[in-house]
Amino acid sequence: MRQHVFLVGFMGSGKSTVGPPLAALLGLPFVDLDREVEEERGEPITEIFRTYGESAFRELERLCLERVSKGPPSVVAVGGGAFSSEENRVLMLRTGITVFLDVSLEAAWSRCAGDPTRPLAADFGRFERLFRQRRETYRLADIRIESGFGKPSRTSAEIASRLKALGVAGAWAKESD
């Protein structure tokens, strides 16, 4: 059953910022998958990357996503790389509605450059390559929303109304009507 709302998109697209107000609008709990991974391993993401490597991080991310997808209906912000894995993508498309927060490369970089908690945002060349590689995959999401520098409350209201228009906000929206 498609009971969750998954927020997908590149680093700096605003998933973790838009998630809480959207969850409040829909009357659902908010889950940040990166925080789940950190709790699961008991270490921050940078440490997981540094000590065990990216593939270990991806495995933890997959495990946590699997667990969250079996849990109660939630708004879930997933890390920028999670939707690139076909296995993860199929799971998200099957158990929820996926919302692509589309951000420009420039806006994403201005938000992430030099952020020590984002190991994949250390240099612009790699950041740009990833951005271009992933773009087409994000487009496979059910809904695409422009995520510029607008207020999170406005973006979340737009997502809620798009969910409603799709007729999928059903049980969630009734409570907030």
How far is 149 from 27, CA to CA, in rounded Å? 25
Nearer to ligand S3P, 28 or 76 (CB): 76
Task: Note the residues at the interface with ligand S3P (CB under 6 A).
Answer: 11, 15-16, 34, 45, 79-81, 118-120
Residue 175 CB, shortest distance to ligand S3P, in Å, is 28
Nearer to ligand S3P, 73 or 80 (CB): 80
Nearer to ligand S3P, 27 or 149 (CB): 149
Residue 97 CB, shortest distance to ligand S3P, in Å, is 19
How far is 8 from 139, CA to CA, in rounded Å? 10
- Residues linked to residue 31 through DSSP beta bridges, in sequence order: 76
Measured from each CB, the residue nearest to ligand S3P is 79
Nearer to ligand S3P, 113 or 120 (CB): 120
Residue 174 CB, shortest distance to ligand S3P, in Å, is 30
Residue 110 CB, shortest distance to ligand S3P, in Å, is 14
